[in-house]
Structure 1
Amino acid sequence: MDGYHPDCSWVYDRLYVQRGGFKSAFAKGVEEFITKAISRNQFVEDGGIRCPCHNCMCSGVLSASEVKIHLYRFGFQPNYWYRTQHGEEAPHIDPENVPSSSGYIDNDDPFTLMQHMVDDAFGPTYDFQNMGDEGNEEEINEEPPNEDAQDFYDLLTAANKPLYEGASDSKLSICVKLLACKSNWNVPQKCLDFFATMLVDVCPFKDSLPKNFYQAKKLVTMLGLKSEKIDCCVKGCMLYYKENSADIECRFCHEPRYVPRKPGIGNHKDIPVKRMFYMPITPRLKRLYASTETAAQMRWHQHNRSSSGILRHPSDGEAWNHFDARYPDFANEPRNVRLGLCSDGFTPYIQASSSPYSCWPVVVTPYNLPPEMCMTKPFMFLTCLIPGPSNPKANIDVYLQPLIDELQQLWSEGALTYDISMKQNFVMRATLMWTINDFPAYGMLSGWSTQGKLACPVCMDGNKAFTLKYGGKNSWFDCHRRFLPHNHAFRRSKKGFPKNRVVKDEPPPILNGEEVWGLVHNIPRVIDTAHTKLFGYGVSHNWTKRSIFWDLPYWKDNLLRHNLDVMHIEKNFFDNVFNTVMNIKNKTKDNEKARMDLAIICQPSDLELVPHNNGKMKKP
């Protein structure tokens, strides 16, 4: 239950965070829980106790001694304040008083908040002491944390050391509050420096306080999650990255990297004309295994596959299972991460500007988590922030280079990660399963333009689009009948579709990854050459480039590489239907040009334009 039990604060207060070992209150609480559980009739009926540990989650029945071992080793499952599976009744909980999802946190105690933040940053690295309980003969073997996890001790020491005896704040909590002032209210740095200096001057514990904003920021940056600033060409031709990091002008358009200096200015730092931000995903994925709330959930997909044929989660889908069959070594480690990527443009300014600005964030989502978690905001990782002011179009691949490089490394080498739920180090690998975008962004990422008569990326050059004589737009009307069964009545209809046309064609073949790779492997990448229109574009193909995603060694083996997001499709469909039914001026699709095209394509009907007395045509 998501309600804090005031008499059960021991439930998630298991270990001494500095010296290790179990707290006496936790040991006493476990003993009382076991005693109550074995005294119930359900213990006799079930032949044991439903284990409420973080791993079993009340799904298995174990002996009393085994349950005790699990609780000491893994702790209680999240938010199990009221043991409803063990005879307790849960009271009504006021939603405003529901605690944080990461277990109970006293929201009035910033010291506790800081401790939980640090705990989530790296994960505890303490050693378990012997339990000393009767019946506990199982030895708990745990691996020591890796080198990155050892950094936890530094932050934990800072978080656990009060500013003075009895204080609820630590140096870390003060630093975070200073940074929050700047973030929430845009307080100038000089003002924060003054506040920090004033605190140091008036407080007797001077060594425990940051002396300025820089020191506060330096301590908090130890939490990990850093970002990188990468200079880029003002036209988006290239990044000053890796072997090109020392260049001072674009190797394609020769635009300068830095803003020209004014005459008379001394030795000041060069200012780049344009710069993107990249947030590495590896430390963010490690953070998921460092938190007690998400580490076990990252294995949810392994034990919760649907057998009913209903798609509840991507792990139930054909694409996921196809990848597992193709790469069994990857699938055998359930902690390996499956990722999805999405991107779209937006205007970051609240007020409309005379000159439009399009900024493109690239968001990566891990799909290991259960459905109620994987699509929520905390688990949508912003990886790239592509600056404007214009749409990057095909050159979006230029900005994706750091992400693709990191994905290649996560696939081939992996990253040593500490899993707090299993107290183990393991090599975490990751794969990008697909992208999710609207139709224009689909073309930008896939390399097949979604404009013109060949816009369909599935049918490719096998579609039968045509241009409307009066409307002047491309139409895919009647391209769908060939997908119907051969004996379907619509295939033989000469009146309900284009007049006097019977469809006997087969649907165009849908190419698999290997076949698509055969078409694009000789097409140049935009990161290698200046982007130019390819020969035959719009006539025999719609390729604009070889997408950078093909650099991933497994990309051709993905069954479903690109997806269209439901939101844009639903919105556009609704807008067109609503505007047409309500006959909204300048937005309806039922206009005079459409009626004139209808008369050419279809059998005569009562929808055709009729002459009016004034010589004009009128819609019936």
Structure 2
Amino acid sequence: MDKSWMLIEDRLHSPEYDEGVRQFLAMAQAHAATADQIRCPCRRCRNRAFHSIRIVEDHLFLRGIDPTYTEWIFHGEEDPILNSTFSDEEDDVASSYNHYIDDVDEMLDDIRHGSFMDEEGSNGRNANDNYQPSTFNAPTDYNFDELVADARQPLYPGCAKFSKLSFIVKLLHIKSIGGWTVKSFDMVIKLLHDAFPDALFPNSYHDARRLERGLGFNYEKIDLCPNDCALFWKENASYNECPKCKASRWIASTSDQQMIPQKVLRYFPLKPRLQRLFMSTKTAQAMRWHKDAHVDDPTSMRHPADSRVWKDFDNKYVAFSHDPRNVRLGLASDGFNPFNNMSRPYSIWPVLLVPYNLPPWSCMKDPYTMLSLLIPGPKSPGNDIDVFLRPL
């Protein structure tokens, strides 16, 4: 739809502006949640207030439409950021990946760019001879070419809906949502093998996880002092006792089995996900919204960029604020009982990060909320939370 009418100043005498308003209101009314009211996008209301169609029409003619509201996401248009594919390859490169059975090509593009992979060093656990590194940090045997081959290979001869790769990914997703045990997953795999001998199913759960690790769904396990004093990480990675309280790193055991840490922090690498936001021209442009498209309105606060704290930070750190690509993150955490049993006093604390560079209609959406840490219980971290935040 042509939106050039939004910039016309002579609103009361312009037939183009009149026709643009009519088309906008018709679309807004067709997609309205209620029959009598819609959000008003005028320069004063800016989608913060709901009015009747008649009042919104008066506002658009008397005050004009907000010129920064170019994507009508509150009035029927889809959010272009949420629908972006995060893939901006040239046509000649993209054409070489046009033989996929389903939509896993977007996921493979992320892997090809390294958007999920964190190539930096591990947490240094190998310094202890008695400790076996986590399989989540171990290198995978799957390389990118094998993933591409599985994405192009039908699940069985003549299958046009699932590739070998997409079926395994969907099956692992169902296991996660349904809370299947490893044994039940292996039983389902065995049943599928018996029922469909020509299909390319994985041999077991561990075989499927081997492929999943190739997709980059990994995290780091960092051992933690049982009293929350310090992390056994970097300079403390080889210690068997807490450098502060001298508590043992390991669970006491009389057997010669693998040593088990008393407490483990799970860290989801942040850098690859921030890099991914700049791999698409659409999201890269949205990450500059707070500087390039934000309209400063001293009468209201629509975004953290309107706050005094944000502006004081810009004045204090001029070099950082000069480049709009520098990422500003909001951090939030809260505890919950993962066992669905309130009689058992245990809480786990996820730490979530929100990129405030994005516009207000995107920054708080699920696709941009990043889980960065899982702080173990059984109690809240309290004032010791800074110990857990060190990997960030």
The two structures share one fold, judged by TM-score above 0.5: yes
**CA distance in structure 2 between the aligned counterparts of 1:294 and 1:232, rounded to whole angstroms:** 36
| Contact 1:233/1:239 (8 A) holds in 2 | yes
From 203, 208, 214, give the equivalent of 1:216. Answer: 208
Name whichever of 363-372 and 306-315 sits farther off: 306-315
Counterpart residue identity of residue 361, structure 1:
P
Partner of 2:83: 102
Q: Is contact 1:276-1:387 (8 Å) kept?
A: yes
On the 8 A contact 2:297/2:306 being kept in 1, the answer is: no
1:182 and 2:172 are equivalent in the alignment: no
Letter matched to residue 340 of structure 1: G
Q: Does the alignment pair 1:320 with 2:310?
A: yes
Q: Measure how far apart 1:386 and its partner are.
A: 1.6
The residue identity in structure 1 corresponding to 2:341 is Q
- Equivalent residue runs for 1:524-539 within 5 Å: none
1:165-191 Cα offsets, whole Å, 9 max, x none, are 452101221111221232122222133
The residue number in structure 2 matching 1:341 is 331
Letter in 1 for 2:160: A
- Over aligned residue pairs, what C-alpha RMSD do you find? 4.0
Partner of 2:232: 240
C-alpha spacing 1:93/1:242, structure 2 compared with 1 (3 Å): same
Partner letter of residue 380 of structure 2?
N
Q: Is the 8 A contact 1:178 1:213 kept in 2?
A: no
Structure-2 change in CA distance of 1:367 and 1:300 (3 Å): same
Query: Is 1:260 paired with 2:241?
Result: no
Q: Which moved more, 1:220-229 or 1:230-239?
A: 220-229
Deviation of the 1:204 alpha carbon: 5.8
Question: What secondary structure, in the 3-state scheme, does the structure 2 residue paired with 1:294 have?
Answer: helix
Distance change >3 Å, CA 154–CA 313, structure 1 → 2: farther
**Counterpart in the other structure of 1:305:** 294
* Residue in structure 1 matched with residue 276 of structure 2 by the alignment: 287
- Counterparts of 1:546-561 in structure 2, within 5 Å, are none
- 3-state SS of paired residue (1:371): coil
1:4-403 matched pairs, under 5 angstroms:
92=30, 101-102=82-83, 112-119=102-109, 155-163=147-155, 164-200=157-193, 203=196, 205=198, 208-262=200-254, 265=255, 267-290=256-279, 294-309=283-298, 310-353=300-343, 356-403=345-392
Gaps of 5+ in 2: 9-19, 34-76, 86-99, 116-142
Task: Provide the TM-score with structure 2 as the length reference.
Answer: 0.62
Give the structure 2 partner of residue 138 of structure 1. none
CA distance in 2: counterparts of 1:175 and 1:340, whole angstroms: 34
- For the pair shown, the structure with the greater C-alpha radius of gyration is 1
CA contact (8 A) 1:259 1:270 kept: yes
SS at match of 1:364: strand
Give the conservation status (yes or no) of the 8 Å contact 1:281–1:383.
Answer: yes
8 A contact 1:233–1:257 mirrored in 2: yes
Give the distance between the partners of 1:392 and 1:399, measured in 2 at CA.
Answer: 8
Q: Which has the higher contact order (CA 8 A, sep 6+)?
A: 2
CA distance in 2, matches of 1:350, 1:60: 55
Q: How many residues align structurally?
A: 292
Q: Which runs of 5+ in 1 are unaligned?
A: 2-41, 43-48, 51-57, 62-83, 105-109, 126-150, 404-620
Give the superposition deviation at 1:305.
2.1
Point out the more displaced range, 341-350 or 394-403.
341-350
**How far, CA to CA, are the matches of 2:32 and 2:201 in structure 1?**
38
Q: Kindly tell me: are residues 60 and 283 of structure 1, through their superposed partners in 2, closer, same or farther at Cα, counting changes over 3 Å?
A: farther
C-alpha distance 155-367 of structure 1, shift in aligned 2 (>3 A): farther
Describe the superposition over 1:84-133 as per-residue Cα deviations: whole angstroms up to 9, x where unpaired: 99x898594699xx9894269xxxxx9645344445666799xxxxxxxx
CA contact (8 A) 1:357 1:389 kept: yes
CA displacement 1:540-572 (0-9 Å, x = unmatched): xxxxxxxxxxxxxxxxxxxxxxxxxxxxxxxxx
Amino acid at match of 2:273: R
Find the aligned partners of 1:124 and 1:385 in 2 and give their Cα distance: 24
Asked if the contact 1:237/1:252 (under 8 Å) is kept, the reply is yes
Would the alpha carbon gap of residues 322 and 252 (structure 1) be closer, same or farther in structure 2, given more than 3 Å must change? closer
CA gap of 1:253–1:287, structure 2 versus 1, over 3 A, is: same
Per-residue CA deviation, residues 577-603 of structure 1 (Å, 9 max, x unaligned), is xxxxxxxxxxxxxxxxxxxxxxxxxxx
The whole-number CA distance in structure 1 between the counterparts of 2:295 and 2:327 is 19
In structure 2, the CA distance between the partners of 1:350 and 1:186, relative to structure 1 (3 Å rule), is: closer
User: Is contact 2:224–2:265 with CA below 8 Å preserved after alignment?
Assistant: yes
Structure 1 pair 211/186, CA: closer, same or farther in 2 (3 Å)? same
> Is contact 1:175–1:217 with CA below 8 Å preserved after alignment?
no
In structure 2, what residue type is equivalent to 1:213? Y
Q: Structure 1: how far apart are the matches of 2:297 and 2:381?
A: 43
Does the 8 Å contact 1:306/1:312 carry over to 2? Answer: no
Report the alpha carbon displacement of residue 272 of structure 1 after superposing the two structures with TM.
1.3
Q: What is the CA–CA distance in structure 2 between the aligned matches of 1:388 and 1:124, rounded to whole Å? A: 33
d(CA) in 1 for partners of 2:218, 2:257 = 26
Change (3 A) 1:322 1:187: same
For residues 3-30 of structure 1, what are the alpha-carbon distances to aligned partners after superposition, in whole Å with 9 as ceiling and x for unaligned? xxxxxxxxxxxxxxxxxxxxxxxxxxxx
Q: CA deviation at 1:157?
A: 4.6
